[in-house]
Structure 1
Amino acid sequence: MSDRFTQTTSTTARLNVYIQGKGFPILALHGHPGSGRSLSVFTNHLSKRYQTFAPDLRGYGKSRFNGIFEMYEHLDDLEALLDRFGIEKCLLLGWSLGGILAMELALRLPQRVTGLILVATAARPRGNHPPVTWQDNFYTGAAALLNSINPSWQWNRETFGKRSLFRYLIQQHTPTAYNYIAKEAMRAYLQTSPTATRALYTALRAGYDRLKDLQQIDCPSLVLAGAQDRHITAESSLETAQYLKNSQWVCYPNTAHLFPWEIPQQVLGDIDRWLEEHPQVIGSQ
């Protein structure tokens, strides 16, 4: 499977990117479906001290792309983005698919990556999501529509949200989580192209597994997981942390794949503490 990531192509996409703050650069990579704006829970906080770059990956958000492409081409695009902004070294933060790309970029460009913050992701991703029923789709559509109108409506969260597919993405059906879903998830979902979906699922069906290659990564890593994540299980995130040489693993109880939107302050606090303990990842000693 790794060959899908180690190829190179001469054609790169000029990615739309959201830039905030000043200081040491942090490249933040979103998941599927997603966009650069989906990472505001991280970038709004981190950009107070660092400069954050949150691109829309090829085929996502405003980075429109016509035609079929493979997963490795995301890496070509990201390397071109680093060159475009003159970023010699950066910290990588990746959520879900973004975490996979962060690990791949660290393998490809070890001299440019100072550290990894890996969120709800794994080098050998495994899920245990139950089959989706028509009732799931019905409740999800109703919950999403009503949530876009009134994200804080408790009746919707209790009546539709907890019966919808949201129940596999979050465990804590709070106004905070539903506000993030309304503000960032729905638009990102609608802007995700079929070709981006094809590229991801083609790679996963081929049996993506980079565990043994992780020993090549020397930089410090923080691996964060939700205990009830059904999309990429906490066990597969722990497995990744165990293969990384210099990693710290944190698992949050009663949370799922979107745990940064469930418990943002706790997650950001843990990231801040890790950054203080590893000043080298932000260019300090």
Structure 2
Amino acid sequence: MHEHDVTSSDGTRIRGWRTDHPGPPVLLCPGLGTMPEVWPALLLPSAGVRVLSWYHRGTMGSERPKDPSRIELADHVADALAVMDAAGIRRCVVMGWSVGVMVAAELARRHPERVSGLLFTAGVPGDLFGAMLSSFGIPSVVRRAITLGGTHALRALSPLVDAILHRVPVNTLTATIAQHSGLMLPGADTQVIASVLERFLQHDWRWYFTLALAVGSVPARELHGITCPVTVLAGKYDVLASPDKATKPVAMLPQARVRIVPTSHFLPLEAPDAVIEELLLLLRRVRAVERARELARPPARDPIDALIPPPLTYGSRLRS
């Protein structure tokens, strides 16, 4: 995995990362404040793809925008395009996890010519806070009030959150506790969990919750009009994006496939093989669709044909 800097459309310096393995390019829209280690199988040569991604504004080496309001969904889409443009990628499969699903979906809505396929992993394309806690049967209005209010409270208490989380010792015991917390389930490699936690807990938590509130204000999105192949991977025990909320937006799409696996929200860590299986299947579906469209396209007219006048008919000769 290699890191590099790209410049987004508003001049913000974004820290990108990529793998250099052979295979088709895939743009990964990350979960909020997450790092490559979250995708252990995707980083291996055996994944068969070349991954491009980035760190969100103000995290992990990416610059905070000079205008602090430039952290809306459209700004994250601009960062995704900057990563693609810097790599010379005109069109590719785009995948996302958690908040990254919102970015991937918005990229496909605004720039369908850049997206050949979509893989949504444990996320929703809009109404982030309304999707949380759905599996508990709490009414949506109450859920949204609880999760939105809780995020505002955590942002206000961020100095205390920093003081606690920055001092949490990260080791096998910490990782094991996290895997039994309810937000995460056992199944992932404990050492990988520890590696992820070590970096994740060091965030500036006031900025982190500011980012979350900015994207959380995006309402539910309709995905009508998206015609590329779409795959949804949902975690059966996900309390942040329950399967019904994750799958409903794609229910009417003509090219949608849904798979539910027995994981929490941290599906990329707990079911890495399922991620690779569905990604490779999506790539095959994309190739089939692109090939079918190519065959259905009428043959291109030779430009020289436009210079040859149509043959004259008997009537046209008389009129002339």
TM-score by length of 2: 0.68
Counterpart for residue 269 of structure 2: 261
Provide Cα deviations, 1:214-257, integer angstroms capped at 9, x if missing partner: 1121110110000111111111011022143311011112x110
Asked if 2 retains the 8 angstrom alpha-carbon contact of 1:14 and 1:81, the reply is no
Q: Distance in 2 between matches of 1:192 and 1:43?
A: 27
Q: Distance in 2 between matches of 1:79 and 1:162?
A: 34
Q: Distance in 1 between matches of 2:179 and 2:266?
A: 15
Matching of residue 251 in structure 1 with residue 260 in structure 2: yes
Counterpart for residue 312 of structure 2: none
> What is the CA distance between 1:184 and its match in structure 2?
2.0
Give the match's secondary structure for 2:239. coil
Asked if 1 retains the 8 angstrom alpha-carbon contact of 2:25 and 2:52, the reply is yes
Q: In 2 relative to 1, CA 236–59 (structure 1 residues): closer, same or farther, beyond 3 Å?
A: same
Tell me the amino acid that sits aligned with residue 256 of structure 1. Answer: S
Asked if 2 retains the 8 angstrom alpha-carbon contact of 1:61 and 1:188, the reply is no
Asked if 2 retains the 8 angstrom alpha-carbon contact of 1:46 and 1:52, the reply is no
Counterpart for residue 127 of structure 1: 132
**Larger Rg over CA atoms:** 2
Written as runs of structure 1 = structure 2, the 5 A alignment for 1:80-95 is: 80-95=82-97
Provide Cα deviations, 1:37-63, integer angstroms capped at 9, x if missing partner: 244325314775332112112222111
Tell me the amino acid that sits aligned with residue 206 of structure 2. Answer: P
Give the match's secondary structure for 1:53. strand
Matching of residue 33 in structure 1 with residue 44 in structure 2: no
Counterpart for residue 242 of structure 2: 233
Provide Cα deviations, 1:176-228, integer angstroms capped at 9, x if missing partner: 34333211243134235633531331342x352112xx112111011000011
Q: Distance in 1 between matches of 2:267 and 2:55?
A: 21
Counterpart for residue 215 of structure 1: 224
For the aligned residue pairs, the C-alpha RMSD in angstroms reads: 3.2
> What is the CA distance between 1:96 and its match in structure 2?
0.5
Tell me the amino acid that sits aligned with residue 214 of structure 2. Answer: T
Which structure has more relative contact order (CA 8 Å, sep 6+)? It is 1
Q: In 2 relative to 1, CA 83–251 (structure 1 residues): closer, same or farther, beyond 3 Å?
A: same
Asked if 1 retains the 8 angstrom alpha-carbon contact of 2:229 and 2:282, the reply is no
TM-score by length of 1: 0.76
Asked if 1 retains the 8 angstrom alpha-carbon contact of 2:228 and 2:286, the reply is no
Q: Distance in 2 between matches of 1:265 and 1:251?
A: 13
Asked if 2 retains the 8 angstrom alpha-carbon contact of 1:12 and 1:76, the reply is no
Matched positions, count: 253
Unaligned runs of 5+ in 1: 1-8
The more displaced of 78-87 and 110-119 is 78-87
Written as runs of structure 1 = structure 2, the 5 A alignment for 1:1-285 is: 11-20=10-19, 21-35=21-35, 37-45=36-44, 48-67=47-66, 68=68, 69-71=70-72, 72-124=74-126, 125=128, 126-128=131-133, 145=168, 148-149=170-171, 151=172, 153=173, 157=176, 160-161=177-178, 166-168=181-183, 170-171=184-185, 173-174=186-187, 176-191=188-203, 194-204=206-216, 206=217, 208-211=219-222, 214-253=223-262, 255-280=263-288
Q: Distance in 1 between matches of 2:291 and 2:192?
A: 33
Tell me the amino acid that sits aligned with residue 70 of structure 1. Answer: I
Asked if 2 retains the 8 angstrom alpha-carbon contact of 1:122 and 1:236, the reply is yes
Q: In 2 relative to 1, CA 249–23 (structure 1 residues): closer, same or farther, beyond 3 Å?
A: same
Percent identity reads 22
